[in-house]
Structure 1
Amino acid sequence: MLRPVTRPRTVRLASLVSASALLGLGACGPSTNPDEASTGEAPDPGGPLSELLVSEYALGTEAATAEVLQAKVDQFVPVVLEADLASLPEGEQEALAALIEAARLLDPVFDRQVWVDYPGHEARLEAAAQAEGAGELERLRLDYFQIMRGPWDRQDHFAPFAIDIAHPPGAGFYPPGLSAEDFRAYADAHPARRGELESLFTVVQRDPQAPAELVAVPYSQAFAQWLEPAAERMRAAAELTSNESLATFLRSRADAFASDDYYQSDKDWMDLDSRVEATIGPYETYEDELLGLKASFEAFVTVSDPDASKKLSVYKEWLPKMEQHLPVDDAVKTQRGAESPIRVVDLVFTSGDARKSVQTIAFNLPNDERVRKEKGAKKVMLRNAINAKFDAIMTPIAERVIVAEQLPMLSQDAFFNEVLFHELSHSLGPATVKQGDREIEVRVALGASYSPLEEGKADVMGAWNILYMIDEGLFPKDFREPLLVTYFAGLFRSVRFGVAEAHGKGAAFQINRFLEAKAATFDAETGKFTVDPAKLEQAIEALVRDVVMLQHAGDKGAVDSFLDTYAVVSPEMEQALGSLSGIPIDIRPVYPAAGETR
């Protein structure tokens, strides 16, 4: 059995700050104003979304009292995430500093993708918190706003806590009030413009001269004020690094920030072979709850562990066999590129979509099916974040929801490998579907329903594939029960994110299906679950089959019906979740290498 490597030796390097100063980039700690964190100056009006709008909304709700907000803030425990940077050559440390500054510039971009009036509303909350006579309530509103990245509670169905209006499902990607039906009708009536309107990399706005008309504004124009200097910093990092693969990626990604064509730079990212790794750009579509079309900007600045990565590389060779092992007809199975590298890395800094409420512990990119077909997808394991979450969150949750007799089965190895195989499983299953004479990605066919179904698929298929690896001798036979108990307990970590969130919704439908199949039973008196390993294996197989077939059909109505039935908080789940008070929902990362302190 391959085990997660132990925590590396860590250092706090002042050299990253000094390297940043040498570049003239201004190393600074986290600012309460993300717009100022990037450049040290207030933004000048420039592109269509650069204006600092003035919000006129209320700053809170009656329900969001200081006591309530303090409890919510306390659910996110500050954790210092460090990495071993001492062995990096000076040039790589300077490149890392430049990448941190590039990443900072994506925060104001993501803010506007969340909500067009984000900057103005945050400024009002800051002013209220700093005003003479301000109390804990004003401070807590601002604090929780910055954790949630907006005035709506992502852990509670986007309930407003620092505003008096409902969360817009289209976030900042579409005109206020535009419905999904209106968008589809407009796209159907303008087929020549469908591509630009549905593009991952455009903001849809109303034409100011003809408000009934929709226009697609490329990200490169809408966010030029921040993307252009971010590209400059990436090019600076490319000059500083001695690693050619990193330099190639940074230059091509900088070009993509201006062209909105990410195809080549996605391929260059797949070819990265460097201790310093950056994942930076528009990737996931979770924020677009209206149509699930628009990608949000994010950045992960990391350092890799080549030895740990090499130990896990054996699994990528099994991906084609995992696809063939899926419990569906051969006609449903997909052929993709088999390169699919696996990286074990430690986080140095995150920004944008990667730094909202619940923190990512692994990812599988790119999402472009053209690149996946050619080269597969890279699985990146964020080791220091995984270790932090197991210690601070996963273990205490299991102690409250799993019967004492099965607690010895809780395993950090199983947790790490379920995270790994979750990411591997994103590369498996249907990729495209037929709609009339068009072949489109499953993501487009299912719209906003795609993400929760896909996240749940990756969870359950990850467990299915580890069971397959046990059968094939890559894990010992006695790993079976630790896997099953840890996997089931881990679903409660995810469902606490809230069923308004894709991962939480995906976890909920798994738990409810397993309860329906008697694969786990709930004792209302103790509030704890007992896992039946044999029945859980059967239920895992059945759920993998059902989810793959839902994706293969590409029927959004059928997926919505499935989610409406199973992606809910059942009474058993509600009682179990009620027992988790005092356990953090997630970590709140602090990055000392980026100049941050608790």
Structure 2
Amino acid sequence: MAATSNATSPLSKQLARFEEIQVGGSQYLDRLTGGDREALPLLVQVGKLIDQIYIRQHWSGNEALHAHILGKNPRNEKLALGLQLFKGPWGLDEEQFIESIKKGEDGSEGIHIPHEPPQHGNYYPDDIKKQEYLDWVAGLEGQAKVNAESYYYVIKRDATTGLLYSVPYSKEYEEFLVPASHLMKQAAELVSDASLAKFLKSRAEAFISNDYVDSDVDWLRISKESALDVTCGPYENYTDKMFSIRAAYEFYVHARDFDSSAILAKFSSRLQDMEDQLPVDELYKAKGLFPPAIVTVNQLYSGGDVAVPMTAAYNLPNDEAPIKIAGSKLVIIKNVQQGKFEKVLLPIAQQVLDPEQVKKIEFEAFFQHVLMHEVAHSLGPHFLVQDKEKKVRTALEEYHSAMEEAKADIVGLYAVGLLLKDGTLAGGPDAESFYMTYLASAFRSIRFGITEAHGLGQAMQFEYLKEQGGFAYDADTKKFRVVMDKIEGAVRSLTTKILVLQGDGDKQKVKEFVDRYGIISKEVKHALDTLENLGVPVDVYPRYRILEDGTL
């Protein structure tokens, strides 16, 4: 659905901000065995069951709303699409796009839809108060207290006594988890990679036992040689806005992208060398760095807690127990990144960049910088240079996330320059493509707003590089461009600035930096308004090939 500027209803406005992309296709089948392909339909069924769990988790009236909208004949396809994309009746900025439904003349029950999604999701009683929960937990001991604070239990209220009690996910979602467990075990017998089969079996058992640690460790240890990649379970805590405790179920099945993984291996193998070449004093550099666990994939299907904007990368698990045993893993989804590039970044570039520089915009420059961004999170100081026991995160508090995202972006770009000069990236995009694609990508991130860490981090980079002369604005054409004879020096300067700010951990100086550069100037505001008025989409949504022709 192409974005339009004349949409009027809340739902139309929400849908107009997204562009459809096709996800999946026969080009991803090459490395899959016959058994892998046989397992895919089973795994898609698991994904659909996981979707039903998350619909329940999102909000207490969600299942009734979905049944009401999707069960009508004929049904309203725009409303159905809205529910598919947002998993509930609220869109971007938590704007409600479906009104409460009145009780029908046929005796059907009405559905009251809150103006905003409930802070407690559907993990707690609707009438619960935050202090009531805290007081209840404070009075518990032993296993009862552990359960009450677990990622994997919901909280209920006894209808007779009014008292709170805990229910394990395995019981609360039993009608979905039991069939999902059977399907996972069947898929495990078909897939070709033994480590993937081990994960599918142990995750199937976790659905019944409600103990997810061992299967999380098995997920972290899936071989990099496995052509099929599956993520399935309760992970993210965003739906529980009240306490950020309860985990939402999500599901992804991917085909491993071995070519991109080879590029990533080049980056990761040079981690310590890149650290050693950072433009800061030795005090700010780490020693003994090890490559992070990162895999690149192409998405085939997803379900559960996967509302738009589409997830293009995720770092899991969030549970500290398996992390202590086996670390964490970052998954980067290449075909989703490509969809965002084609449907969002390129149209942005065509509106805000100098026409000559638009010709240099390349997907590989965009994607390789994404890979380098993730690697760059490992670079630079993570503890203060004057207090090796104190974390940068702790010192910077609310400013840490935006500074860390800005660090990963700019250090990643600086490192790309190093790898271009020494020939590591020979045969790919040149420096002009990287810098000009980076400029276009800045507008894509800033459009999500500077209250969000990525958007604020990008705004700070943009304004600093512009001040240093690396970016220029033409008031006549109202276009931006990269100044090639200044951008490298500006990137180096900003790299030094951010790494020193992080390593020193002086929160007041960081605040001054954020206040000065974390803004949207009138030129940028004009560009953003133009993009909105022209209907350039904010993000993409998926149309899964596997649901249409069954070939993948």
Normalised to the residue count of structure 2, the TM-score between the two structures is: 0.76
Counterpart for residue 299 of structure 1: 251
Change beyond 3 A, Cα 1:153–1:524: farther
Change beyond 3 A, Cα 1:348–1:139: closer
Counterpart for residue 363 of structure 1: 314
Confirm or deny: 8 A CA contact 1:171 1:288 kept in the other structure.
yes
1:408-450 deviation digits (Å, cap 9, x = unpaired): 44232220112212333455678899xxxx999969x979x98
Counterpart for residue 161 of structure 1: 97
Change beyond 3 A, Cα 1:353–1:403: same
Query: What is the rounded CA distance, in whole Å, between the counterparts of 2:133 and 2:517 in structure 1?
Result: 28
Confirm or deny: 8 A CA contact 1:102 1:230 kept in the other structure.
yes
Q: CA deviation at 1:180?
A: 6.6
Confirm or deny: 8 A CA contact 1:338 1:376 kept in the other structure.
no
Confirm or deny: 8 A CA contact 1:346 1:384 kept in the other structure.
yes
Counterpart for residue 36 of structure 1: none
Q: CA deviation at 1:549?
A: 7.0
Query: What is the rounded CA distance, in whole Å, between the counterparts of 2:195 and 2:57 in structure 1?
Result: 30
Query: What is the rounded CA distance, in whole Å, between the counterparts of 2:148 and 2:207 in structure 1?
Result: 18
The reply to whether residue 85 of structure 1 matches residue 29 of structure 2 is yes
User: How many pairs align?
Assistant: 514
1:306-354 deviation digits (Å, cap 9, x = unpaired): 3542343232333455567778898988899946444332221111223
Confirm or deny: 8 A CA contact 1:464 1:541 kept in the other structure.
no
Counterpart for residue 346 of structure 2: 395
Equivalent of residue 300 in structure 2, options 327, 340, 348: 348
Counterpart for residue 219 of structure 1: 169
Q: CA deviation at 1:468?
A: 5.0
Equivalent of residue 17 in structure 2, options 75, 82, 96: 75
Secondary structure at the counterpart of residue 311 of structure 2:
coil
Query: What is the rounded CA distance, in whole Å, between the counterparts of 1:428 and 1:373 in structure 2?
Result: 21
Query: What is the rounded CA distance, in whole Å, between the counterparts of 1:547 and 1:85 in structure 2?
Result: 44
The reply to whether residue 144 of structure 1 matches residue 82 of structure 2 is yes
Percent of aligned positions with the same letter in both sequences? 32
Confirm or deny: 8 A CA contact 2:299 2:333 kept in the other structure.
yes
Counterpart for residue 250 of structure 1: 200
Query: What is the rounded CA distance, in whole Å, between the counterparts of 1:326 and 1:351 in structure 2?
Result: 41
1:365-390 deviation digits (Å, cap 9, x = unpaired): 34455655665543433232222322
Secondary structure at the counterpart of residue 301 of structure 2:
strand
Secondary structure at the counterpart of residue 281 of structure 1:
strand
Query: What is the rounded CA distance, in whole Å, between the counterparts of 1:292 and 1:516 in structure 2?
Result: 39
Query: What is the rounded CA distance, in whole Å, between the counterparts of 1:565 and 1:185 in structure 2?
Result: 43
Change beyond 3 A, Cα 1:236–1:546: farther
Equivalent of residue 437 in structure 2, options 455, 476, 486: 486
Change beyond 3 A, Cα 1:484–1:86: closer
Change beyond 3 A, Cα 1:227–1:520: farther
Equivalent of residue 229 in structure 2, options 277, 289, 305: 277
The reply to whether residue 466 of structure 1 matches residue 402 of structure 2 is no
Change beyond 3 A, Cα 1:349–1:210: same
Confirm or deny: 8 A CA contact 1:397 1:493 kept in the other structure.
yes
Query: What is the rounded CA distance, in whole Å, between the counterparts of 1:224 and 1:279 in structure 2?
Result: 20
Alignment of 1:421-570 (within 5 A): 421-426=372-377, 458-467=408-417, 469-470=419-420, 473-475=423-425, 479-497=430-448, 503-504=454-455, 507-508=458-459, 510-511=461-462, 520-522=471-473, 526-531=477-482, 533=487, 534-546=489-501
Confirm or deny: 8 A CA contact 1:170 1:289 kept in the other structure.
yes
Query: What is the rounded CA distance, in whole Å, between the counterparts of 1:468 and 1:195 in structure 2?
Result: 49
1:51-93 deviation digits (Å, cap 9, x = unpaired): xxxxxxxxxxxxx975553353233222222233266332221
Counterpart for residue 538 of structure 2: 585
Q: Which runs of 5+ in 2 are unaligned?
A: 1-5, 100-113
The reply to whether residue 235 of structure 1 matches residue 169 of structure 2 is no
Query: What is the rounded CA distance, in whole Å, between the counterparts of 1:446 and 1:207 in structure 2?
Result: 39
Q: CA deviation at 1:120?
A: 1.7
In structure 2, give the amino acid aligned to 1:76. F
Counterpart for residue 371 of structure 2: 420
Change beyond 3 A, Cα 1:286–1:548: farther
Q: CA deviation at 1:301?
A: 0.7
Query: What is the rounded CA distance, in whole Å, between the counterparts of 1:482 and 1:287 in structure 2?
Result: 38
Q: CA deviation at 1:100?
A: 1.3
Confirm or deny: 8 A CA contact 2:365 2:429 kept in the other structure.
no
The reply to whether residue 123 of structure 1 matches residue 61 of structure 2 is no
Confirm or deny: 8 A CA contact 2:33 2:192 kept in the other structure.
no
1:429-480 deviation digits (Å, cap 9, x = unpaired): 78899xxxx999969x979x98767655544453354345446653369944
Confirm or deny: 8 A CA contact 2:403 2:498 kept in the other structure.
no
Query: What is the rounded CA distance, in whole Å, between the counterparts of 2:73 and 2:451 in structure 1?
Result: 32
Query: What is the rounded CA distance, in whole Å, between the counterparts of 1:446 and 1:583 in structure 2?
Result: 35
Confirm or deny: 8 A CA contact 1:303 1:348 kept in the other structure.
yes
Q: CA deviation at 1:489?
A: 1.9
In structure 2, give the amino acid aligned to 1:535. A
Query: What is the rounded CA distance, in whole Å, between the counterparts of 1:451 and 1:181 in structure 2?
Result: 28
Q: CA deviation at 1:251?
A: 1.0
In structure 2, give the amino acid aligned to 1:387. Q
Confirm or deny: 8 A CA contact 2:231 2:252 kept in the other structure.
yes
Query: What is the rounded CA distance, in whole Å, between the counterparts of 1:512 and 1:195 in structure 2?
Result: 47
Confirm or deny: 8 A CA contact 2:188 2:200 kept in the other structure.
yes
Query: What is the rounded CA distance, in whole Å, between the counterparts of 2:527 and 2:135 in structure 1?
Result: 43
Secondary structure at the counterpart of residue 78 of structure 1:
strand
Query: What is the rounded CA distance, in whole Å, between the counterparts of 2:284 and 2:262 in structure 1?
Result: 31
Query: What is the rounded CA distance, in whole Å, between the counterparts of 2:372 and 2:360 in structure 1?
Result: 19
The reply to whether residue 310 of structure 1 matches residue 265 of structure 2 is no
In structure 1, give the amino acid aligned to 2:441. G
Query: What is the rounded CA distance, in whole Å, between the counterparts of 2:271 and 2:185 in structure 1?
Result: 35
1:281-309 deviation digits (Å, cap 9, x = unpaired): 22333444444444322111112243542
Q: Which runs of 5+ in 1 are unaligned?
A: 1-63
Counterpart for residue 3 of structure 1: none
In structure 1, give the amino acid aligned to 2:544. Y
Secondary structure at the counterpart of residue 299 of structure 2:
strand
Change beyond 3 A, Cα 1:159–1:74: closer
In structure 1, give the amino acid aligned to 2:540. I
Query: What is the rounded CA distance, in whole Å, between the counterparts of 1:469 and 1:483 in structure 2?
Result: 12
Query: What is the rounded CA distance, in whole Å, between the counterparts of 1:184 and 1:298 in structure 2?
Result: 28
1:123-175 deviation digits (Å, cap 9, x = unpaired): 33446x647xx8xxx65344323322221222xx2122214512334433445
Change beyond 3 A, Cα 1:335–1:118: farther
Change beyond 3 A, Cα 1:497–1:226: farther
Query: What is the rounded CA distance, in whole Å, between the counterparts of 2:380 and 2:206 in structure 1?
Result: 29
Counterpart for residue 216 of structure 2: 266
Give me the CA root mean square deviation: 4.5
* Stretch moving more, 462-471 or 479-488: 462-471
Counterpart for residue 7 of structure 1: none
Secondary structure at the counterpart of residue 270 of structure 2:
helix
Change beyond 3 A, Cα 1:203–1:278: same
Secondary structure at the counterpart of residue 579 of structure 1:
helix
Alignment of 1:29-44 (within 5 A): none
Counterpart for residue 8 of structure 1: none
In structure 1, give the amino acid aligned to 2:446. V
Change beyond 3 A, Cα 1:513–1:203: farther
